[in-house]
Amino acid sequence: PKGFFLGPTILEDVNVDMSMAKVEAFGPVAALIKGDSLEQAIEWINTKTNLGHSACIFTSNGKDARRFKREVNVGNIGINVGVPQPYSFFPLGSRRESFVGTAKSRLASMRLFMDEKTVCERWI
């Protein structure tokens, strides 16, 4: 009430040309971007932003999940989970212009020089 606080927020109907899709939001904010195909989603993630912290996919198709985690250029991937880092001891690696996530995270100093990708999956 006395500051600039935004509670957990989900933004629907975001498109890849909106600033919300191009600027990193630090906090409990998720932008939902719906695509017409897996190919389109992967292309958007890899080419429509210079950021690379995290991306999530919700699917029942194992082939699509494997392709998504292989091809998207982000440091953290969620498969059927909305937050790819559910525990504090998980690495906070990032890629591209989100690299500061790796440099400032709880990773061991050796890991600073690696290009890691953390994948969290949940299948029911």
Q: Summarize pLDDT for 75-109 with one digit per residue, the tens.
A: 888 899 876 555 555 555 566 555 554 444 444 54
CB 22 within 8 A of CB 40: no
Contacts for 64-70 with beta carbons within 8 Å, 24 or more apart? Answer: 64/38, 65/121, 67/38, 67/42, 68/38, 68/41, 68/42, 69/117, 69/119
Tokens 């695509």, located at residue: 35
pLDDT of residue 72: 93
CB 11 within 8 A of CB 32: yes
Instruction: Report the pLDDT averaged over residues 64-80.
Output: 91
Centroid of chain to Cα 121: 13
Q: Summarize pLDDT for 20-48 with one digit per residue, the tens.
A: 888 777 777 888 888 899 999 999 989 98
CA separation for the pair 69, 30 (Å, rounded): 19
